[in-house]
Structure 1
């Protein structure tokens, strides 16, 4: 089975288009790729990098390095690398929605997404908190964000929230839902029949027996205990400052962090270049790069494409896993 992947470059003034051009220089045998973007932005990126690019219509076959299949979605304003334009916010969101809809209807088997510029999308009049949330709303399902590299997989109980709102957002119901999605995804997408999941506490030292907060006692531990009684291999709540020690990670398949900056700095320090962002719980695999638009690097030919290559590799592997499961 050769997975059919949809690819959205993201912000056209950032490094997304040139990363797609670099990807096109190495035709793949493990998947087919179709890009949802403005062909003009891709051609401009190819010119800036002095790399060959031949834009092919949907359904065409890639024959040589530089070939790229494109579902055209025109930008509303000319693109200048390094200068994000709110007028192009519509095209960015349309590309995401269109590619995702093709995954929902079975035309494609998985979705790979490049970096978007949140402030520019909101400045364009489109309320936007993140692609994870956008795809979940479109599909009508609950999802979990997980970032992964060769060292560790870190899922998040909450995503893009101010720190002062995190404690109130973590409830027994939300935590149980998150752990069930994570457990199911580790079985279905990663082929782990008995995934071992470490659950972090919210407070320093996991609350220090209630002296530094009672969320571990009143919210996290009851959920962990109940799901462990059902047969899930869960440990926790664990102090976050020691949970990522190599000796601890050897016995863990995934870590559930309570908030964004509790787990992701460790993951990015351990291997930022090959890290990817996964949305668990969608009807299709979605994998994103783990970096921003890098407007200051756009069009200069120096952006590292490693994360995009890793995202495509991961999405192809997950797509095959779902079809053969």
Structure 2
């Protein structure tokens, strides 16, 4: 059975509705999954006009009403926005609606109606003006699912990377790395790929220092103190994790196919190799959410400056939907 992928509209004053419509003009998406938009039907209809799309918008109130027919976009219509919502402007209404779209998607995922969530971008200022004081999608997902241990995964067609730390300075990141967090991220990588149908995934852990410390030659023993105990704990449980490996060769080896996923120690260590492979191909993924919920996202923002002009590029949305299909629990 094809998985149902819930696609949230994000901030409707941005390019989210346009890239959704453009992406769903691609017949191959319907061959891979059953796409279901959670948003506002009239805003999608406006996006279809802007993009000169011949797709029909099908407003529905429940999943069972969806048809999943190519040329038709099924939209669970929350009907929260004015038809004349301004493009490119921070709006409390759009910020609140973006939150409500995601909240509904989470409820659907919790109850097994959809197998993964794919999010169009939201605007943090609008989100806050709408009364929802979260830094972004990830924190909303963690809060509404009651999740404490989660991680950011980046995926491209040739490389997958999961992070021990993300949006903190480098010195703070190294302080935050410890054996328990290393083990938990390795386990999240293993569980995520296993649920997606990958048997015994190969997980490579990146070193912190140049040459992974080279037996104490570089650094102050961070690999031995912070990484190796976590790797060994995972190995005892039968998880196929190895390392730490030098970062300057590990990502090349992973792209070559030696490993299924790399565990990066800090933000730029993992993000830079993915983005070198192509910004349009990168997908941001939240893993570890309770209930096994997978969330993928485009790797760009709301692009208020081009909203409503039919200039938005849908390639990252296409990749995000495809990643959601790949990682969705098999049904």
TM-score scaled by length of structure 1: 0.88
2:270 counterpart of 1:263 = yes
The answer to whether the 8 A contact 1:26-1:65 is kept is: no
Please give the alpha-carbon distance, in whole angstroms, between the structure 2 residues aligned to 1:57 and 1:97. 18
Please give the alpha-carbon distance, in whole angstroms, between the structure 1 residues aligned to 2:140 and 2:198. 28
SS for the counterpart of 2:249 is helix
SS for the counterpart of 1:5 is strand
Instruction: Provide the residue aligned with 1:203 in structure 2.
Output: 209
Instruction: Give the drift of 1:73.
Output: 4.2
2:42 counterpart of 1:35 = no
Of residues 200, 213, 224, the one that matches 2:231 is 224
Alpha carbons of 1:207 and 1:119: their partners in 2 closer, same or farther (altered >3 Å)?
A: farther
Please give the alpha-carbon distance, in whole angstroms, between the structure 1 residues aligned to 2:103 and 2:120. 14
The within-5 A match list for 1:208-287 is 209=216, 211-246=218-253, 249-282=256-289, 283-287=292-296
Please give the alpha-carbon distance, in whole angstroms, between the structure 2 residues aligned to 1:294 and 1:53. 23
SS for the counterpart of 1:80 is coil
Please give the alpha-carbon distance, in whole angstroms, between the structure 2 residues aligned to 1:133 and 1:260. 17
Please give the alpha-carbon distance, in whole angstroms, between the structure 2 residues aligned to 1:77 and 1:125. 21
The answer to whether the 8 A contact 1:9-1:113 is kept is: yes
Alpha carbons of 1:38 and 1:213: their partners in 2 closer, same or farther (altered >3 Å)?
A: farther
Q: Which runs of 5+ in 1 are unaligned?
A: none
Give deviations 1:161-181, integer Å, cap 9, x for gaps.
343421232222222111111
Alpha carbons of 1:228 and 1:248: their partners in 2 closer, same or farther (altered >3 Å)?
A: farther
SS for the counterpart of 1:51 is coil
Instruction: Provide the residue aligned with 1:313 in structure 2.
Output: 322
The answer to whether the 8 A contact 1:57-1:69 is kept is: yes
Please give the alpha-carbon distance, in whole angstroms, between the structure 2 residues aligned to 1:299 and 1:76. 15
Would you say how many aligned residue pairs link Structure 1 and Structure 2? 321
Of residues 101, 106, 110, the one that matches 1:104 is 110
| Larger deviation, residues 50-59 vs 76-85 | 76-85
Instruction: Give the drift of 1:150.
Output: 1.3
Please give the alpha-carbon distance, in whole angstroms, between the structure 1 residues aligned to 2:237 and 2:73. 50
| Larger deviation, residues 225-234 vs 301-310 | 225-234
| Larger deviation, residues 194-203 vs 114-123 | 114-123
The answer to whether the 8 A contact 2:159-2:255 is kept is: no
Instruction: Provide the residue aligned with 1:45 in structure 2.
Output: 47
The within-5 A match list for 1:1-325 is 1-26=1-26, 28-58=30-60, 59-63=65-69, 65-75=71-81, 79-141=85-147, 142-189=149-196, 191-207=197-213, 209=216, 211-246=218-253, 249-282=256-289, 283-319=292-328, 321-323=329-331
SS for the counterpart of 1:145 is strand
| Larger deviation, residues 297-306 vs 246-255 | 246-255
TM-score scaled by length of structure 2: 0.86
RMSD, aligned CA:
2.5
Instruction: Give the drift of 1:270.
Output: 0.8
The answer to whether the 8 A contact 2:188-2:288 is kept is: yes
Q: Which runs of 5+ in 2 are unaligned?
A: none
SS for the counterpart of 2:321 is helix
Please give the alpha-carbon distance, in whole angstroms, between the structure 1 residues aligned to 2:67 and 2:198. 35
The answer to whether the 8 A contact 1:277-1:288 is kept is: yes
SS for the counterpart of 1:155 is strand
Please give the alpha-carbon distance, in whole angstroms, between the structure 2 residues aligned to 1:211 and 1:54. 60
Please give the alpha-carbon distance, in whole angstroms, between the structure 2 residues aligned to 1:69 and 1:125. 25
The answer to whether the 8 A contact 1:77-1:87 is kept is: no
